Amino acid sequence: MRDARGRELVFGIFHDRSERKRAEAALQESEERFRIKADGCPTIIWVTDSEGGIRFVNQKSREFFGVAYEQLEGGKWQPLLHTEDASEYIAAFMSAVGERRAFAAEARVRRADGEWRWIASYAEPRWSPSGGFLGYVGLSPDITERKRTGEALRASKEKFPQLAENIHQVFWMMNPAGSEILYVSPAYERIWGRSCEELYRDPMAWRRPIEPDDREQAHATFLKQLEGEEIDSE
């Protein structure tokens, strides 16, 4: 600028940025602490932006998938999903992003060695101090072994009735207190000559058809079974 006499003048404004600098330093320190903790965690951890794009993955993620952060950035993680699970998983994730709510889903992903592994992803929304949606912080633990155990258990449960209902001997299950019959095979009706329904109503109904001379001994043997003894009786 020039004054009335033609002299050049310079006007300046000085802003006190101390608080802003402190806030930036505190944020940087907080992010560094989070990064250190996340990299030490044995579970896959990821952070997204408000659009759902990946903005951070921890060391476990990089080792598990055998890729650098740049190869997972944004939406580049999607090809790692199994084709049979991808559409449902991605749709659930994008729906959560759109509604700003918690996210949970399971899917198979390709590990660095090429093996398909099951992960269960859980993520919570991140919010700014002013209430703005920032994205997600998520965990994706490997649940492959749990899946296999569950499948084996389901298969076992499916086979159980096929076996129990077709054997010629009476097979039964009771609670530890002896107060409830959990299961009795159909052979009970043929051998005992009484209904299974009666036994479900009265767990001690099996005593009635026993010869009076044997009934007391049978009951004593039964009580030993409830105490955990292995019994072989006639």
Does residue 51 surpass a pLDDT of 80?
Answer: yes
pLDDT(84) > 90? yes
Please identify, in words, the CATH class of the domain defined by 165-226: alpha beta
Q: How confident is the model at residue 104 (pLDDT cuts 50, 70, 90)?
A: very high
Residues 19/39, Cβ–Cβ less than 8 Å: no
Predicted structure pTM score: 0.60
Q: What percent of the chain has pLDDT over 90?
A: 56
Domain limits, the chain: 18-144, 165-226
User: How far is Cα of residue 4 from the mean position of the Cα atoms in its chain?
Assistant: 77
What is the average pLDDT value for the chain, to the nearest integer? 90
Q: Show the beta-strand stretches assigned E in the chain.
A: 45-48, 54-57, 103-110, 116-127, 133-139, 172-174, 181-184
Side-chain-side CA neighbours of residue 98 (13 Å): 6
Percent of the chain with pLDDT over 70: 100
Instruction: For residue 168, name the pLDDT band (cuts at 50, 70, 90).
Output: confident
Per-residue pLDDT reduced to its tens digit, 8-45 = 998 899 988 888 888 777 777 777 888 888 888 999 99
CATH superfamily, with its number, for domain 18-144: PAS domain (3.30.450.20)
Answer whether residue 161 shows pLDDT above 80: no
The pLDDT of residue 106 is 97
Of 48 and 162, the structure prediction assigns the larger pLDDT to: 48
